């Protein structure tokens, strides 16, 4: 079991923030609707591929009504290269229809209402709230955040909800979005799942999982 290093959180996060000062979202979007759709598409898909798809998609479907009335088979073809396109298309259309019937055609701006949308869990809801509305409710826990939180000794949990609670106890609320993006960037660039680059890691001296 990886040692508990929660007492080193501030030091580790401080170093990582200096390493990744620019934590702007990598998904391209112009409004909360585009952000919601892009985030749904990003499941098990790279941001680069999602951006390639949405560059065309958002010209074809520019309003919530466009998604709500979309032909599901045609939408599946439009998003095919993001993977899991059957489920993603179903979630996008279902969410758009629910937004029209229950939320005046708008993307909800509360955690409670976002979680009512098909296929939207806390990770997606946190992303939409933080990046779409500037509301910090919690922290988006994806596979990178999960893995790095465990490897750095911030949590020993495996459930995303419990990891989120552990991280919320460590970080200031205003820093939660930055923490998520910082861990994601470090996970993509250095602490890679199959081949972690411990030799060049800026927190190798503090990391309980360092192989150096």
Whether the predicted pLDDT of 6 surpasses 90: yes
Query: What would the pLDDT profile of 165-206 be if each residue is shown by its tens digit?
Result: 999 999 999 999 999 999 999 999 999 999 999 999 999 999
Q: Which of 133, 151, 180 is the last residue of a domain?
A: 133
Helix axes 176-189, 9-19, angle to 10 degrees: 70
pLDDT the model gives residue 24? 80
Give the CATH number for residue 117: 1.10.340.30
Which CA distances in Å does 175 have to 4, 7, 13, 44, 207? Answer: 21, 17, 10, 25, 21
At 3, the pLDDT band (50, 70, 90 cuts) reads: confident
Catalytic residues: 123, 142
Answer for the pair 136, 44: CB distance below 8 angstroms, yes or no. Answer: no
Nearest-5° Cα angle at 59, 55 to 62 = 120
How distant, in Å, are the alpha carbons of 31, 63, 103 from that of 196? 35, 42, 44
- Report the chain's mean pLDDT, rounded to a whole number: 95
In this structure, the answer to whether residues 19 and 97 fall within a common structural domain is: no
pLDDT band at 155 (very low <50, low <70, confident <90, very high): very high
- What per-residue confidence (pLDDT) applies to 2? 87
Is residue 146 located within the same domain as residue 98?
A: no
- The shares of helix, strand and coil residues in the chain, as percent rounded to the nearest 5, are 60, 0, 40
User: What's CA 50's distance to the chain center, in Å?
Assistant: 13
Query: Phi/psi of residue 103, each to 5°?
Result: -130, 30
**CATH code of the domain containing 12:** 1.10.1670.10
Q: Is residue 212 part of a domain?
A: no
Instruction: Return the closest-CA partner of residue 191 out of 179, 180, 181, 204.
Output: 204
- Same domain, residue pair 128 and 179: no
Domain of residue 158: give its range: 6-23+141-200
Angle between helical axes of 143-151 and 176-189 (0-180°, round to 10): 90
In a shared domain, residues 129 and 147 = no
């Amino acid at each position: 079991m990886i040692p508990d290093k929660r007492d080193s959180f501030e030091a580790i996060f401080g170093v990582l923030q200096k390493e990744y000062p620019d934590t702007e979202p990598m998904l391209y979007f112009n409004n909360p609707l585009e952000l919601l759709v892009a985030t749904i598409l990003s499941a098990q898909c790279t941001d680069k591929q999602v951006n390639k798809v949405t560059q065309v998609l958002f010209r074809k479907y520019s309003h919530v009504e466009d998604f709500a009335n979309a032909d599901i088979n045609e939408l599946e073809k439009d998003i095919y290269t993001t993977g899991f396109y059957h489920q993603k298309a179903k979630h996008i259309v279902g969410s758009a229809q629910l937004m029209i019937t229950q939320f005046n055609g708008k993307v909800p701006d509360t955690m409670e209402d976002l979680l009512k949308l098909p296929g939207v869990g806390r990770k997606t809801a946190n992303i939409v709230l933080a990046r779409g509305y500037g509301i910090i409710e919690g922290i988006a826990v994806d596979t990178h955040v999960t893995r790095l939180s465990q490897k750095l000794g911030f949590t020993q949990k495996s459930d995303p909800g419990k990891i989120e609670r552990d991280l919320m106890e460590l970080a200031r609320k205003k820093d939660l979005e930055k923490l998520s993006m910082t861990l994601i960037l470090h996970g993509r660039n250095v602490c890679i799942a199959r081949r972690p680059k411990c030799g060049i890691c800026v927190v190798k001296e503090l990391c309980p999982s360092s192989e150096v």
